[in-house]
């Protein structure tokens, strides 16, 4: 591939980005699209204006300025700690790759370009291999520049990683010690409750904890079966009762409607539809019916509440009986974070589910080798001409060559990768995660490993499936294999950054699927009310792996093919603006993991550094530079030691809550006389079934900030707000803004 093919790919993606960003700046101003581009604000909005003005149809960059000027404290209030952690990942990437781009442009790029005595063509017609380390001749005296650049990049990355880890750890402590009491600090989740023919699970839990924890036990709440199958059974029972009661009740249920049908113009007859859990049998039965059926619908799990945070922590971390499969205790997730369907899964099934999920994940990875190999084969014109002889004439045209080699392979791979997150999320759900944030964190790790394997390693060792697996048969030859393969595929990674990076940000900000659904709802179905478009929580399980994958590519290719760095740097700056805008306006913060995503980012970054150093060690060996190879080995050792120190210093704070902090919080609440109020709060926090949504169970403590204004007010952030005490608590950070803050 030459520079012209790379510029063709860049030009196509730049054109796509310009068109979509321009459309976005106009569409976001239309009142009919408020539920698409201001979903978070619509969740608490009272009214809006639909005034017609010319400014609505003129593109403007006001959203860029708003995203740039937003401080970290505002991000913390709006999106929670997870949003701040995600923003810190992007900021870290901007900082480290700014240094890498400067160093590699000054030191590495000239050495690569003039690495051999050859006649150079004009820049647009030069092969991209000329700008990689492949162009440096063996035994070159200038390889010290690559080693020095590797040292500077590693030192910068480790310094920034330590600083970010320390800062996010402090933010997590602020999250833990917030002024508002957190019900999950007083609650534990108990699974594996033994079945008894003489008493219900509810009575069993009460007797066990009243006997073994009499001074600390407060109350409990049994978990009821609430899966899809159970809901269908309950609704079927309810329909049978309705049918057996005669036609009179049916006449009361079915009422004619004269709503116009937008397809045929006639009227329709609507029936009462059982649509969700709140309309199911749990919301319609009387108290006596629930009491009679309670034991039948109880599951072997319960939330148990204690009188202090320290008591709950002690019980959650201790073994309750000599049989570790019974009375299994864990810290309870926050009420909004509970994933109720998985609480009913018998604890003894979890290890089988995890084993099945692992086997299914490995199978999925192996099957996915087929589309990845196909996409990689498009970069090799000789193989294409042999496989498809009828394309020989077309593949001789210059523009077609640039399009096929520079654009199509990465686009095809990106399209196939869109099927990965839903499948992986299904695997994570089958594992039995008890919270939504844990499920999303598990999916995030799986998607990350999957994309790094398929985008990097499979493409590096392109060929048949057998040859790709045979490369790893000897670990001693792995550095040399990587050293030969990675520089040759560095140009493909550059085009992948353009296709999967730049274009994905444009599609993300456009919200094409919600926009299409909104247009279909308004112009086909004729429904003009502003409603929420599904579960608008931030997709960390797709965006975090994408950010970390590009960081992985940047570290591994920085000294091998420095031309990738400007494209990566532009991507991260654009991602900084786009994601902040989405968090501020689109996505709703329903639950928060307390920054649990940062250890994943830290581990991935360290692995990226180690892989880059191993590849550099192999390259220096192939290029016969013993000095550079000798200096790379201590760098590997120091990086591993740094990672181990961070694990010992910071990681325990993310795994467990500190006893000292919890005891101090308990004593503070006792001095303030708030314990009785907290007990009432805890007893009503975990609502599995109610006549309304889960969040309304906490109506006395729940209060989003409400706003009144037009789409223009939403765009500029000038909507009128009404304060209220809310749960989750509003966290405050007094750090200065990381980038672009006031």
3-state secondary structure 532-594: CCCCCCCCHHHHHHHHHHHHHHHHHHCCCCCCHHHHHHHHHHHHHHHHHHHHHHCCCCCCCCC
pLDDT category at 298 given cuts 50, 70, 90 is: confident
Averaged over 283-295, what is the pLDDT? Answer: 52
Phi-psi region of 126 (alpha: psi -120 to 50; beta: other; left: phi over 0): beta
Is residue 478 over pLDDT 80?
A: no
Q: What are phi and psi of 421, to 5 degrees?
A: -55, -45
**Which has the closest alpha carbon to 215: 326, 300, 310, 321?**
310
pLDDT category at 88 given cuts 50, 70, 90 is: very high
pLDDT at 364: 92
pLDDT at 140: 83
pLDDT at 366: 86
Is residue 641 over pLDDT 90?
A: yes
Lowest mean pLDDT segment, chosen from 8-22, 148-162, 250-264, 632-646: 250-264
Q: What are phi and psi of 346, to 5 degrees?
A: -55, 135
> Tens digits of per-residue pLDDT, 483-526?
778 877 877 788 888 878 888 898 899 888 888 888 888 778 77
Number of neighbours of residue 175 by Cβ within 10 angstroms: 22
pLDDT at 233: 61
* Cα 648 from Cα 216, distance rounded (Å): 32
Average pLDDT of the residues of the chain: 78
Number of neighbours of residue 107 by Cβ within 10 angstroms: 19
Averaged over 421-437, what is the pLDDT? Answer: 93
* Cα 300 from Cα 256, distance rounded (Å): 44
Q: Which residues, listed in sequence order, are joined to residue 187 by a DSSP beta bridge?
A: 305
Averaged over 694-713, what is the pLDDT? Answer: 37
Averaged over 315-342, what is the pLDDT? Answer: 93
* Cα 651 from Cα 165, distance rounded (Å): 9
- Supply the pTM of this predicted model: 0.80
Bond into 728 cis (ω within 30): yes
Max mean pLDDT among 218-227, 241-250, 298-307 falls in 298-307
Higher pLDDT among residues 620 and 741, named by residue: 620
* Cα 253 from Cα 364, distance rounded (Å): 47
* Cα 38 from Cα 40, distance rounded (Å): 6
Is residue 616 over pLDDT 80?
A: yes
pLDDT category at 273 given cuts 50, 70, 90 is: very low
pLDDT at 600: 96
> Tens digits of per-residue pLDDT, 35-49?
888 877 666 554 444
Which residues, at least 6 apart from 136, have a Cβ–Cβ distance to it below 8 Å?
Answer: 111, 112, 115, 116, 142, 143, 623
Q: What distance, in Å, lies between the first and last C-alpha atoms of the chain?
A: 44
- CA gyration radius, the chain: 29
Is residue 266 over pLDDT 50?
A: no
> Tens digits of per-residue pLDDT, 382-391?
555 555 566 6
pLDDT category at 120 given cuts 50, 70, 90 is: low
Neighbour-count burial of 480, counting CB atoms closer than 10 A to its CB (0-12 exposed, 13-18 middle, 19+ buried) = middle
pLDDT at 294: 62
Higher pLDDT among residues 259 and 540, named by residue: 540
Is residue 261 over pLDDT 60?
A: no
pLDDT at 532: 55
Is residue 59 over pLDDT 80?
A: no
| Percent of the chain surpassing pLDDT 90 | 39
Is residue 377 over pLDDT 50?
A: yes
Q: Which residues, listed in sequence order, are joined to residue 45 by a DSSP beta bridge?
A: 707
Interior CA angle at 628 toward 624 and 633, to 5°?
115
> Tens digits of per-residue pLDDT, 348-374?
999 999 999 999 999 998 888 887 777
Total residue count of the chain as it appears in this document: 742
pLDDT at 272: 42
SS percent in the chain: helix, strand, coil, step 5: 65, 5, 25
Lowest mean pLDDT segment, chosen from 25-39, 315-329, 623-637: 25-39
Largest interatomic CA distance in the chain? 95
Is residue 113 over pLDDT 50?
A: yes
pLDDT at 709: 44
* Cα 293 from Cα 182, distance rounded (Å): 32
Q: Which residues, listed in sequence order, are joined to residue 2 by a DSSP beta bridge?
A: 127
pLDDT at 176: 86
């Amino acid at each position: 591939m030459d520079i012209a093919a790379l510029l063709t790919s860049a030009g196509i993606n730049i054109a796509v980005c310009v068109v979509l960003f321009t459309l976005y700046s106009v569409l976001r101003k239309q009142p009919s699209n408020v539920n698409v581009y201001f979903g978070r604000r619509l969740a608490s909005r009272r009214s809006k204006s639909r005034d017609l003005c010319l400014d609505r149809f003129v593109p403007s960059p006001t959203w860029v300025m708003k995203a740039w000027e937003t401080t970290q404290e505002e991000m913390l209030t709006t999106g929670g700690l997870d949003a701040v952690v995600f923003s810190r990942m992007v900021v870290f990437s901007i900082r480290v790759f700014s240094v890498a781009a400067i160093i590699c442009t000054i030191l590495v790029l000239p050495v690569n370009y003039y690495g051999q005595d050859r006649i150079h063509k004009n820049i647009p017609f030069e092969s991209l291999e000329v700008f990689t380390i492949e162009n440096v001749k063996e035994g070159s005296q200038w390889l010290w520049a690559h080693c020095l650049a590797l040292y500077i990049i590693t030192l910068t990355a480790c310094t920034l990683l330590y600083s970010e880890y320390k800062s996010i750890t402090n933010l997590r402590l602020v999250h833990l010690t917030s002024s508002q009491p957190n019900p999950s600090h007083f609650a534990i989740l108990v699974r594996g409750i033994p079945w008894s023919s003489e008493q219900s699970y509810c009575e069993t839990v009460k007797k066990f904890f009243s006997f073994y924890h009499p001074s600390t036990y407060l109350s409990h709440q049994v978990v009821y079966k609430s899966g899809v199958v159970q809901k269908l059974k309950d609704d079927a029972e309810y329909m049978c009762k309705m049918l057996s009661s005669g036609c009179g009740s049916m006449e009361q249920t079915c009422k004619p409607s004269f709503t116009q049908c937008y397809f045929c113009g006639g009227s329709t007859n609507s029936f009462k539809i059982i649509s969700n859990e709140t309309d199911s049998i749990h919301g319609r039965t009387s108290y006596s019916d629930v009491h009679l059926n309670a034991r039948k619908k109880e599951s072997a799990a319960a939330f148990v509440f204690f009188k202090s945070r320290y008591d709950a922590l002690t019980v959650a971390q201790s073994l309750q009986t000599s049989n570790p499969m019974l009375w299994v205790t864990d810290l309870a997730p926050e009420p909004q974070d509970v994933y109720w369907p998985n609480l009913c899964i018998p604890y003894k099934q979890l290890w089988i589910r995890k084993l099945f999920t692992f086997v299914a994940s490995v199978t999925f990875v192996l099957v996915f080798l087929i589309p990845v190999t196909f996409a990689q084969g498009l970069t090799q014109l000789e193989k294409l001409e042999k496989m498809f002889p009828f394309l020989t004439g077309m593949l001789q045209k210059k523009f077609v060559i640039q399009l096929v080699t520079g654009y199509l392979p990465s686009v095809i791979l990106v399209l196939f990768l869109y099927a990965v997150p839903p499948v992986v999320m299904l695997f994570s759900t089958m594992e039995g995660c008890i919270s939504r944030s844990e499920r999303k964190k598990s999916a995030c790790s799986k998607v990350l490993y999957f994309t790094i394997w398929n985008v990097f390693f499979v493409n590096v060792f392109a060929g048949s499936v057998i040859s790709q697996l045979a490369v790893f048969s000897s670990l001693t030859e792995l550095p040399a294999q990587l050293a030969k393969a990675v520089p040759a595929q560095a140009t493909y990674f550059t085009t992948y950054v353009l296709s999967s990076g730049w274009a994905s940000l444009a599609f993300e900000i456009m919200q094409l699927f919600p926009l299409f659904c909104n247009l279909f709802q308004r112009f086909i179905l004729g429904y003009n009310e502003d409603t929420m478009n599904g579960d608008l929580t931030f997709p960390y399980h797709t965006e975090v792996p994408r950010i970390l994958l590009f960081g992985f590519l940047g570290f591994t290719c920085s000294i091998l093919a420095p031309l990738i760095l400007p494209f990566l740097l532009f991507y991260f700056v654009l991602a900084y603006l786009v994601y902040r805008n989405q968090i501020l306006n689109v996505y709703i913060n329903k639950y928060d993991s307390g920054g649990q995503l940062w250890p994943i980012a830290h581990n991935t970054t360290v692995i990226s550094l180690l892989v880059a150093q191993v590849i550099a060690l192999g390259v220096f060996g192939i290029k016969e530079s013993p000095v550079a190879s000798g200096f790379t080995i201590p760098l590997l050792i120091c990086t591993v030691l740094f990672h181990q120190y961070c694990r010992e210093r910071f990681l325990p704070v993310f795994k467990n809550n500190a006893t000292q902090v919890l005891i101090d919080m308990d004593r503070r609440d006792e001095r303030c006389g708030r314990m009785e109020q907290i007990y009432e709060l805890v007893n009503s926090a975990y609502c599995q079934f109610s006549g309304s949504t889960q969040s309304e169970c906490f109506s006395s403590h729940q209060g989003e900030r409400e706003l009144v204004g037009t789409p223009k007010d939403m765009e500029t952030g000038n909507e009128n707000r009404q304060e209220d005490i809310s749960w989750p608590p509003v966290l405050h950070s007094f750090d200065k803004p990381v980038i672009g803050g006031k």
